[in-house]
Amino acid sequence: MTYDARPRLILIDSSDATREVLATRLRAQGYQVEAVGDAAMGAELSLSAPPNVVVADLWMPSISGVQICRLLRSEPATADVPVILRGERDDPKSRFWAERAGAAAYVLKGRMGDLVRALIRATSSPRESDGFFMQLGGGSLGIRDRIAQHLDAALFESVIASEVRALGSAGSFERLFDLLSQLLAQLCPYRWLAVATSAPTRFAIHRHPKLGDISVAEARQALAVASGIEPLVIEDEDALESADPGSPVVVPIAFALSMVGTVAFSPAKSAAADAAVLAPILARELGGPLRMTALIEESQRQASVDSLTGLLNRRAFAATIDLELARSARHGYPLSLMLLDVDHFKSINDRWGHATGDQVLSAIGTMLRSTMRRTDVASRWGGEEFVLAMPSTPLAGGRVAAERVRRDIAALTILDHEGKRIAVTASIGLVELHRGESLAQLVDRADKAMYGAKVGGRNRVVVDDDPGKSTTGDSAPPADESSARSVALPSSEDETPPTPDSLPTLSH
């Protein structure tokens, strides 16, 4: 038997006339040519005895060149067999489909020179065959079934990718993760699903209620999340109860060439194949939604947060407290609110400049954020005024908190341009929510109490637990911070307008 060293070529062309003419010319160029008019037969020949190159029409009856190209790319025996697709038109759409199908080249019909040059490039690196050929039974029916399977797989991937991309409209990371868990639980049974991001730093996990801390420990290890980062936990029975750890799937998530996070899940052992399909889709598609929700949340944060103090602005505070007022009215929970004003703030601006005044406001904002409870809500109310609402806090507890805030403000270290400390104090009005009271009424009472602290000497807390009476604390905290002595509110005529000379002195 004589060995033929010529490159072997399979030509698929549904037109008898052009097929024979082209086959003759290609043989003259030194190729072994097997020419067939049926696309399924050409695919079967390619899979049973992989050639050096396949030439096929881009669009053919029944089975297209795009489908053949995808089929050969996905089969181990023909994954590296170059496919050259031919078309009637030199248009972007045809070239797009050829490129996406994985074709080695796209050439126009009738351009023999272009086809020969494409063949030379495609066959310049001979295939290293290991002698393994995939034998297919069933003739054309087997090929059509395989193409249908690949089309189904492509459709499945497209649908899942679309569902993941749609998570970009979630609006928040928490909702995005919740929706992701609902989607993935339908596609691949898992013990837990976790996502970690670095900008901002977040860690979320979906688990079965009975797994508890073991799932968090596994996810934290898989994602390399520091122990100090608390997870957002979603628990329901969509996740598996099994305690068998198995091997987690860990996928880095990129967006625009930057890493935005990592997703990991612990699939059931029976779902390993499903996990292998889903993992690259998540890696490819989840970056956009994560980035989108981060931008939305940052935009919302900037719209609701005072840039100087880092606290909520007035509008955001009002929206948040309206919910707390409704909750308090529904369940009868107490709520205390303090309104504070920086003493002699105008004179601080006049004497040391607005930059120093901003430094004072920023320091107070930082102090409030560091000392308030997670359930408390603080805001820059306007100018040098701050408001702090304390849900589930009766007046006695509010008094303790207000005295602590007053004391912490007085202890702030604000330095002037010479490095000398500027003494800063605040007057605070404290009230407790009355049944049926609106936010405007509550703040109005706190404002009157704060005014009482101003005219009473400043650097003090005045407690107003009823529109008709008030109590005040001394400028120094009482021995028992839960108590305060009663005084009458002075009239406005008793207050002397502050002057630069009346400012607190500098401490050396």
Confidence band, pLDDT 50/70/90 cuts, at residue 336 = very high
Mean pLDDT of 229-239: 93
Contact 340, 450 (CB under 8 A): yes
DSSP E strand boundaries for 308-467: 335-342, 377-382, 385-391, 414-415, 421-422, 426-432, 461-466
List domains and CATH numbers for the chain: 8-136 (3.40.50.2300), 163-301 (3.30.450), 306-502 (3.30.70.270)
Of the ranges 205-214, 335-344, 467-476, which one carries the lowest mean pLDDT score? 467-476
Does the annotation count 384 as an active-site position? yes
State the angle between helix axes of 39-48 and 139-165 in degrees (0 to 180), rounded to the nearest 10.
90
321 CB neighbour count, 10 Å cutoff = 23
Amino acid at 426: A
**What does 165-206 look like in DSSP terms, one character per residue?**
HGGGGS-SHHHHHHHHHHHHHHHS-EEEEEEEEETTEEEEEE
Taking the CA atoms of 238, 242, 248 and 249 in sequence, report the sign of the dihedral they define: negative
Answer whether residue 503 shows pLDDT above 80: no
What pLDDT is attached to residue 122? 87
DSSP E strand boundaries for 93-154: 105-108
CA distances from 357 to 103, 177, 306, 500 (A): 67, 42, 15, 14
Query: 386 is written with which tokens?
Result: 């701050």
Pairing of strands 385-391, 414-415: unpaired
What pLDDT is attached to residue 58? 87
Taking the CA atoms of 235, 239, 241 and 244 in sequence, report the sign of the dihedral they define: negative
Confidence band, pLDDT 50/70/90 cuts, at residue 89 = confident
Answer whether residue 128 shows pLDDT above 70: no
Answer whether residue 501 shows pLDDT above 60: no
Answer whether residue 478 shows pLDDT above 60: no
What pLDDT is attached to residue 468? 46
Confidence band, pLDDT 50/70/90 cuts, at residue 212 = confident
Confidence band, pLDDT 50/70/90 cuts, at residue 2 = low
What pLDDT is attached to residue 494? 36
| CA 24/CA 17 separation, integer angstroms | 11
| CA 145/CA 126 separation, integer angstroms | 30
| CA 358/CA 349 separation, integer angstroms | 9
Answer whether residue 198 shows pLDDT above 80: yes
pTM assigned to the model: 0.54
Token pair 């002075």: residue: 490
Confidence band, pLDDT 50/70/90 cuts, at residue 158 = confident
Mean pLDDT of 220-241: 92
Catalytic residue among 218, 384, 403, 432: 384
Cβ partners under 8 Å of residue 333, min gap 6: 327, 391, 392
pLDDT digits (tens, 9 = 90+) for 262-289: 999 999 888 888 898 889 999 999 999 9
Cis-peptide into 477, omega within 30 deg: no
